[in-house]
Amino acid sequence: KAGLKYFGAATDSPGQRERAGHEAAYAQYDQIMWDSTEFSSTTPTNGQKWLFVEPQRGVFNFTEGDIVASKARAHGKSLRCHALVWHSQLAPWVEETEWTPEELRKVIVDHITAVAGHYKGQCYAWDVVNEALEEDGSYRQSVFYKVLGEEYIKLAFETTAKVDPTAKLYYNDYNLEWPSAKTEGAQRIVKMLKDAKIPIHGVGLQAHLIAEQPPTIDQHIAAIRGFTKLGVEVALTELDIRLTMPATPENLAQQKEAYKNAVGACVQVCGCIGVTIWDFYDPFSWVPYVFTSEGAALPWADDFSKKPAYDGIVEAL
């Protein structure tokens, strides 16, 4: 659509959901997700995360990620893969062990070799490192950072590049949608990798936004340009725009405007290549589980009707 290479929706692997008794809703969900032309790309919201793919050291399980990958293939949708090295939804064994730097390096290399190896050739892009930064731009004190320092980021990108040389390698994080200390931190990561001649091709702006206080389109464009001028592409990778519940005509109108501006910011910058919304159907959104009294963050309502947000997206494309 328009200047973007793709407009996608992330989805959870059907195996993780309870379908019994809800067959009609899932039929409608699948029709929009897979059969319609609404989305040309997808991302597994959970199935490729460390917790699920390597729950024990050296024990790999690709069941859930493969469900989404094979549906994507069957329906001609491109796949963004998510996420190789992240402090959250990490298998407990990684955090519970006292690693020497040498051991943890091997853990990271073995994980990426197995996971990126399993999906080799299937991923348009990999989120190689997810959420390495604090809001002030300093590094998050994850197990990876505590043992290896910023070297773990170099190792993760270097390893993924070797294992799947055709995937675009992304650094992905939230609150990168307006210029800040955190966007500077992400720029620093891009420069660090480029200076070390290690491939990085993109920065993913998760774009978990708030309808009542979104970035302005100018701020959003400035943040995107801050990355594209370093010679990497940008994508909005997990776009959703939550409301304070309940939904009202007023906050739904604010949400529409915010979607229009977020997608519009990407459309207006040459190096911003695609947008993925973090699921499309409100009942399957992660938002209500994490943000108290917030929700209705996606373009499709509970009854599968399209919300004003949908029109906002269409107007921007």
Q: Which is nearer to ligand XIL, 259 or 278 (CB)?
A: 278
Tokens of residue 69, six digits: 């990958």
Could you say whether residue 46 binds ligand XIL (CB under 6 A)?
yes
Q: How far is the CB of 12 from ligand XIL (least distance, A)?
A: 6
Q: How far is the CB of 83 from ligand XIL (least distance, A)?
A: 6
Residue of 75, 55, 56, 58 lying closest to 67 (CA atoms): 75
Catalytic residue positions, numbered: 131, 238
Residue of 218, 184, 217, 216 lying closest to 203 (CA atoms): 184
Distance CA 80, CA 121 (A): 11
The DSSP symbol for 16 reads G
Q: Which is nearer to ligand XIL, 54 or 238 (CB)?
A: 238
Binding residue count for ligand XIL, defined by CB under 6 A: 7
Determine the residue type at 46.
N
Q: How far is the CB of 284 from ligand XIL (least distance, A)?
A: 9
Could you say whether residue 187 binds ligand XIL (CB under 6 A)?
no
Site for ligand XIL in 235-264 (CB under 6 A): 238
Q: Which is nearer to ligand XIL, 55 or 101 (CB)?
A: 55
Q: How far is the CB of 285 from ligand XIL (least distance, A)?
A: 8
Q: CA dist 7 to 31, 77, 79, 154, Å? A: 17, 10, 11, 29
Judged by CB under 6 A, the residue of 130, 142, 160, 183 near ligand XIL is 130
Q: How far is the CB of 173 from ligand XIL (least distance, A)?
A: 8
Q: How far is the CB of 315 from ligand XIL (least distance, A)?
A: 26
Q: Which is nearer to ligand XIL, 42 or 46 (CB)?
A: 46
Which residues lie closer than 8 Å to 233 by C-beta, 6 or more apart?
168, 201, 202, 203, 271, 272, 273
For the chain, counts of helices (H) and of strands (E)? 12, 10
Could you say whether residue 122 binds ligand XIL (CB under 6 A)?
no
Judged by CB under 6 A, the residue of 124, 281, 286, 300 near ligand XIL is 286
Site string for ligand XIL, 65-104 (x = CB under 6 A): ------------------x---------------------
Q: Which is nearer to ligand XIL, 157 or 286 (CB)?
A: 286
Judged by CB under 6 A, the residue of 45, 160, 183, 254 near ligand XIL is 45
Burial track 177-206 (b if 16+ CB lie within 10 A, e otherwise): bbbbebbebbbebbeebeeeebbbbbbbbb
Residue of 229, 274, 305 lying closest to 43 (CA atoms): 274
Tokens of residue 177, six digits: 């949608």
Which residues lie closer than 8 Å to 104 by C-beta, 6 or more apart?
143, 144, 147, 148, 152
| Residue ranges that bind ligand XIL, judged by CB under 6 A | 45-46, 83, 130, 206, 238, 286
